[in-house]
């Protein structure tokens, strides 16, 4: 029999599915049988979002993972998110439909290099964006998300020196918003880095009444053009509260499914990237499919595990973030 490591290495359960099966029904049945919950990120395929018990961004998903009473968490997102769920609920089984659903941003900050970087700034507090590995979280003082990054920085005394990683674009935006001088790690997300300023300008000319809304992981040159900058949840709320009828959206295009559901009369246009595609999909997020989700729930793998010493250390900065967020009512 294969070990969990060998099973995970395959990426996903490669098993033929009876084409007559109603996967939505089967997933519902398995969820009850196994006392499982499905948490899905906004960047997942619409089918997965529609079957999920909870859909959200990193902050909401980590809060949900911390309070669920299910025995099994199926995390429809990427590896670092499933790790965060495991850190917060170590007694639960955490499944990831495709074990190879990684993240270019998390990969851009190898923990052994970050440790050396951190040693150069011994009097700095380390704040890391939740989009990083469990090992990196274990090297941090406070974790943040794009929803609460500004408030987390502002919760520290003005004279406190801060390292911010791994996303340099989010870090630069937070530095600008807070007026603080942050030491930034030079990491970035491949999805948010390739929006084309030129194509967005042309798109705005064709849709002069559209609001241009962007995630702070985008480059500064793109953020400068935005009518509103916010986390995925922030962008969704803005689309609901603003009177505009058209929105050009600069983040992963999966969020548009929820925007359209919440605003059936409004039009959402994905901001074009700097390549031949019309919208911007995260290739890691899109590795998960409804079929893989069904098979992982049925078979109980791929399963995400985190070494116990890392769980103990990584829990502390996440707990600080959740505490600060709760205090601020975020």
Closest CB 3 distance from ligand SF4, rounded Å: 27
Kindly state the smallest distance separating residue 104's Cβ from ligand SF4, in Å: 4
Residue among 23 and 54 whose Cβ is closer to ligand SF4: 54
User: Residue from 68, 104, 145, 148 that binds ligand SF4 (CB under 6 A)?
Assistant: 104
Residue in 17, 190, 225, 244 binding ligand SF4, rule: CB under 6 A = 190
252 near ligand SF4 (CB under 6 A): yes
Residue 269 sits in the site that holds ligand SF4 (CB under 6 A): no
Q: Using the rule CB under 6 A, is 145 a contact of ligand SF4?
A: no
Query: Could you say whether residue 285 binds ligand SF4 (CB under 6 A)?
Result: yes
In the complex with ligand SF4, the residue whose CB is nearer, 64 or 252, is 252
191 binds ligand SF4 (CB under 6 A): yes
The correct pick among 282, 290, 311, 314 for binding ligand SF4 (CB under 6 A) is 282
- In the block, tokens 């909401």 appear at 60
State which residue, 48 or 70, has the beta carbon closest to ligand SF4.
Answer: 48
CB of 232 to ligand SF4, least distance (A): 9
Residue number, 103 or 126, with CB nearest to ligand SF4: 103
- Residues forming the site for ligand SF4 (CB under 6 A): 78, 103-105, 131, 189-191, 252, 282, 284-285
């Amino acid at each position: 029999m294969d070990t969990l490591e060998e099973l995970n290495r395959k990426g996903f359960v490669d098993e033929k599915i009876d084409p007559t099966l109603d996967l939505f029904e089967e997933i519902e049945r398995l969820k009850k049988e196994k006392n499982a919950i499905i948490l899905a990120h906004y960047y997942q395929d619409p089918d997965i979002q529609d079957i999920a018990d909870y859909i959200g961004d990193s902050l909401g998903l980590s809060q949900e993972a911390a309070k669920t009473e299910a025995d099994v968490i199926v995390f429809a997102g990427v590896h670092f998110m499933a790790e965060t769920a495991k850190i917060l609920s170590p007694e639960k089984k955490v499944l990831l439909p495709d074990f190879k659903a990684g993240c270019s941003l998390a990969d851009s900050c190898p923990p052994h290099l970050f440790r050396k970087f951190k040693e150069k700034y011994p009097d700095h507090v380390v704040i890391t964006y939740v989009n990083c590995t469990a090992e990196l979280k274990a090297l941090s003082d406070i974790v943040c998300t794009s929803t609460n990054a500004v408030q987390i920085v502002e919760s520290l005394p003005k004279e406190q020196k801060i390292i911010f990683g791994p996303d340099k674009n989010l870090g630069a935006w937070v530095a600008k918003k807070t007026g603080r001088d942050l030491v930034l790690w030079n990491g970035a997300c491949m999805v948010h880095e390739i929006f084309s300023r030129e194509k967005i300008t042309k798109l705005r000319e064709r849709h002069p009444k559209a609001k241009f809304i962007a995630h702070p992981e985008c480059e500064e040159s793109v953020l400068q053009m935005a009518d509103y900058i916010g986390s995925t949840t922030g962008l969704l709320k803005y689309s609901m509260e603003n009177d505009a009828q058209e929105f050009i959206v600069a983040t992963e295009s999966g969020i548009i499914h929820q925007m359209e559901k919440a605003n059936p009369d409004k039009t959402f246009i994905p901001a074009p990237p700097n390549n031949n595609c019309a919208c911007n999909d995260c290739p890691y997020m899109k590795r998960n499919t409804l079929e893989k989700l069904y098979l992982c729930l049925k078979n109980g793998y791929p399963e995400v595990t985190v070494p116990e010493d890392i769980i103990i250390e990584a829990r502390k900065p996440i707990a600080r973030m959740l505490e600060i967020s709760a205090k601020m009512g975020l």
